[in-house]
Amino acid sequence: MIQGIYLDNSMAARPSDRAVSQMLPFLTDMWGSPSSPHLKGQELFPAITESYKAIYALLGAKESDDFILTSCGAEGINQVILSCFYNVTRISGKNQLVTSHIDEAPAIMAMGRLETMGCVCKMAEAAPSGMITAQAIADTITPRTALISLSWANALTGVINPVAEIARICKERGILFHLDATHVLGKLFFDLEEVGADYITFNGDQLHAPKGTGGLYIKAGVKCAPLILGGSEQAGYRGGSLNVPGLVALGAAAQEALESRDFVCTEIARLRDKLENGVVEAYPEASTYFQEQDRLPNCTILTFPGIANEALLYALNRKKVFASIGGGSLQQAGLILKACGINETLAQTALSFSLSRETTEEEIDNAIEIIADAAKRLSKLRISESN
């Protein structure tokens, strides 16, 4: 197994030992279907109930709210957007959907698909602060807007959007509001009532749950059409047998995330700051962005002028320091900074680092030294080649 300093937790975090160990009996011994009326199915109910309680507690949800276990956050996002088309657009004619230029691929692509069915996808502009402001949303919506879908916080910059302000605009104008909370859960204190979202989705990977898990929260009284048809499972919201091992693992991860939230918001934030300050002190050409904004406690983005981020990422990879420039379901770091008004050439030198509750001080000390050394080497190489 490759050992290294893992600073790419916005893409995926290591499944926790508790989550894995609690799911194992449901793969080997208690493998029945909860839809079955006999004891082999009924023996699953206590674990299912406790897992749902843990997830509801992490979200701060009420018993009257609905929750769907999904295979990933992307599935939940697609369900929300397609449901809006079925339940709102087809009936009312409101066919405008809004996300942002710096949002993640699932929302942008799902809305893009609906454009072939007569919908219009609009992109709110990011501010120089890295946020999608309430004013930017207000400038984008029209009387035909049906849904606004945003990431609660950006996975690469860590900047948190003013979601409560945006929710108030949505409520005033009768617009559905969806939030992807993947990068916020377990890392931010919030009151769900104040947040005011109609739908919340998240991916289990970043919660230290196994891959193949995710969730969709639906506020009480809000409609949501199923994405996967097939039966009455999960109250008809999602067909197919309930993934009980995944639910149990996600419940365990949710409980751990709630228990460690104070630690992440204090100690991991301190290590994040130490990484930023240490890299800039050791390599003064580097710059940290969005430090004055409300940010996630575990995430930072830095630029290294004159050094292509792909080259630095490769150099760090060889030293087993694992960072990110985006990709996959995430936007490219350079595109995000460019959208925030940062010079394109400088933006393409950006690297994102995301810590987890498992990150240690020793790892941060070593990472600072390795990052600075790699940047110095690449800078010397660039100067040498230019001469």
Q: What is the pLDDT of residue 32?
A: 83
Q: What is the pLDDT of residue 227?
A: 94
The answer, yes or no, to whether residue 1 has pLDDT greater than 80, is: no
The answer, yes or no, to whether residue 345 has pLDDT greater than 70, is: yes
Looking at residue 239, its amino acid is G
> Residue 3 and residue 257: Cα distance in Å, rounded?
24
The answer, yes or no, to whether residue 300 has pLDDT greater than 80, is: yes
Cα torsion angle, 174, 180, 183, 189, sign: positive
The answer, yes or no, to whether residue 103 has pLDDT greater than 80, is: yes
How many CA within 13 A on the CB side of residue 274? 18
Q: What is the pLDDT of residues 185-196, one digit of tens each?
A: 999 999 999 999
**Least confident among 38-42, 144-148, 282-286, 381-385:** 381-385
Phi/psi of residue 15, each to 5°? -60, 130
The answer, yes or no, to whether residue 386 has pLDDT greater than 70, is: no
**Least confident among 1-5, 66-70, 242-246:** 1-5
Mean pLDDT across 109-122: 94
Band (231; pLDDT cuts 50, 70, 90): confident
Q: What is the pLDDT of residue 136?
A: 96
Q: What is the pLDDT of residue 214?
A: 97
> Residue 224 and residue 204: Cα distance in Å, rounded?
21
Give yes or no for a contact between 141 and 173, defined as CB atoms under 8 angstroms apart. Answer: yes
Mean pLDDT across 340-346: 95
Q: What is the pLDDT of residue 38?
A: 84
Band (382; pLDDT cuts 50, 70, 90): low
Task: Give pTM, 2 decimals.
Answer: 0.94
Band (383; pLDDT cuts 50, 70, 90): low
Catalogue all structural domains in the chain, each as residue range(s) with its CATH number. 5-12+260-386 (3.90.1150.10), 17-259 (3.40.640.10)
Q: Tell me the sheet residues that pair with 225.
A: none
Mean pLDDT across 115-135: 95
Instruction: Return the H-helix or E-strand segment holding 67.
Output: strand 66-70
Mean pLDDT across 135-148: 96
Mean pLDDT across 310-329: 94
Q: Average pLDDT, whole number, for the chain?
A: 94
Strand order in the sheet with 287-288: 287-288, 299-303, 350-354
Q: What is the pLDDT of residue 3?
A: 83
Q: What is the pLDDT of residue 36?
A: 79
Those residues with Cβ within 8 angstroms of residue 16's Cβ, 6 or more apart along the chain or in another chain: 208, 209, 252, 253, 256
Q: What is the pLDDT of residues 198-219, one digit of tens each?
A: 999 999 999 999 999 999 999 9
* Residue whose entry in the numeric block shows the structure tokens 């810590």: 355
- Per DSSP, the residues of 307-370 read S-HHHHHHHHHHTTEE-B--BTTBPPHHHHHHHTT--HHHHTTEEEEE--TT--HHHHHHHHHH
